[in-house]
Amino acid sequence: MISYYWPPAGGPGALRMVKFARYLPQFGWQPVVLTVKNGEFPYRDPSLEEDLPRGIKVYRSNSWDPFRLYKKLTGKKTDEAIPVGVLTHRKRGFAEKFASAIRANLFIPDARIGWVPFAVHAALRIIKKERIDLIFISSPPHSAQLIGWWLKRKTGIPWVADLRDPWTEIRYYEFVRRWKIACRLDRFLEKKVLQNSNSLTTVSRDLAHSFAAKSGQPNDAKFFVLPNGYDEADFEHLAYHPGKSFTILHTGNMQAHQNPKILWQVLKRMIDQEQQFRKIIRVRLVGKTHPDIGEEITRLGLNDVATFDSFKPHKEILPLMKNADLLLMVIPKVERNRGIVTGKFFEYLGANRSVFIIGPPDSEAGKILQSLRSGQIFDYEDEENLRSYLEQAIQSWRGGNHAFNNRPAVEIFSRKNLSRQLSEIFLRFIDGLREKTV
């Protein structure tokens, strides 16, 4: 297992790999991990190590990280974390714009490319020492997949590429000007990875179809959907306790293109009509929130309704989800957004609380939500129906009706079940191991 993001790194990328490492041994696979030493992480969550199987071998290799150059150019401290979505920030000075242009055009496919030669060197030694049967690489950073390309060429060992996000069409490229030669090189590397990996897993059907089309090999036997899922064990000792406030919770980053303007407008109208709502409704945003969102909340006079918290470790997020009355997800309002299914969506489902989404009703996340009857989705301008939904939810809460149970329906998205599916994908490429992994 090769991943740049691994504890002490936090966030959905590290969490996905940690959960696979936790459950794959139950299906006959023994993970051996290669990650970066002293990586540049937007978030840190050492508590994720508590989920790892005892005795797991973790190797760490050096890296040259261009983000150190970015910090020098922008005057940031060497120990200051670079936030997620830095290229999407609209209010940037000349130094930040210049540094972002360098990052987007010189470091292809991304700013972690400096890890690749160190990781390849380390991986070749590990493969020999640990008698590795298969290589599984999760990205972004998509430069990590180049490690798999090199290792397969050198060793012939099967390589499964796990791409959690788009590559050349990733959202933040909308906010920076890229040279044509940089775009061509990026597309070339993407296609080589898509064509040369033995199999590819990704988090949504839309992404799987997109990667299959780009590869020129639209083969259902090669491209698989493995969403992020949730871990039943994370929630088994948690219970919902009604609070004095009706709490709407959003966890994770909220970028400018995720600003739930419809929600702020609806809450403003509800409070203007019934001032008592101001006392009982609380919207809690946990994670990095774009300044534009805070400015809009202030403009509408909702500062006493919305609260902001910085990044919290995963284990601290779980009880917040469990005790929320509604869980909020906002699909970014960008092109090709119907296939966006964030990692927190499945953890919301695992928390066994009602979910509401703001985004395209025909999106993949919306279809899953409606099929599971775990909540509702509202288009970006559908104020009338959102208001009716919130008023009914609050009325039910006031009446003491807190019951909700979607557990049987969502079990297909458990981390254990998804790890079983991943193990079956692995077995396609390993001759003679099926008897060993019953």
Q: What is the DSSP string of 12-31?
A: HHHHHHHHHHHHGGGGT---
Which pair of structure tokens corresponds to residue 418? Answer: 């998804």
Measure the CA–CA gap between 10 and 316, rounded to whole angstroms: 12
Q: What is the pTM of this model?
A: 0.89
**Is residue 330 within 8 Å of residue 254, measured between CB atoms?**
yes
Which part of the chain has CATH 3.40.50.2000? Answer: 12-229+415-437, 232-412
DSSP state of 36: E
Q: How many CB atoms lie within 10 A of CB 381?
A: 11
Q: How many CB atoms lie within 10 A of CB 300?
A: 17
Cα 144 to Cα 187, 282, 314: the distances in Å are 15, 41, 24
Give the whole-number percent of the chain exceeding pLDDT 70.
89
For residue 67, is pLDDT > 80? no
Cα 62 to Cα 116, 130, 148, 272, 326: the distances in Å are 10, 20, 17, 57, 43
Cα 329 to Cα 27, 54, 147, 364: the distances in Å are 33, 34, 34, 13
For residue 434, is pLDDT > 50? no
Measure the CA–CA gap between 148 and 2, rounded to whole angstroms: 9
Q: What pLDDT score was predicted for residue 102?
A: 78
What is the pairing mode between strands 306-309 and 32-36? unpaired
Least confident of 69-73, 260-264, 303-307: 69-73
Using one digit for the tens of pLDDT, what is the confidence trace for 373-416?
889 999 999 999 999 999 999 999 999 887 778 878 899 999 99
Domain covering 232-412, topology: Rossmann fold (3.40.50)
For residue 436, is pLDDT > 50? no
435 pLDDT tier (thresholds 50, 70, 90)? very low
Q: Provide mean pLDDT across the span 228-243.
A: 93
For residue 86, is pLDDT > 50? no
**Is residue 350 within 8 Å of residue 322, measured between CB atoms?**
no
Measure the CA–CA gap between 223 and 170, rounded to whole angstroms: 19
Domain covering 12-229+415-437, topology: Rossmann fold (3.40.50)
Mean per-residue pLDDT over the chain, rounded: 90
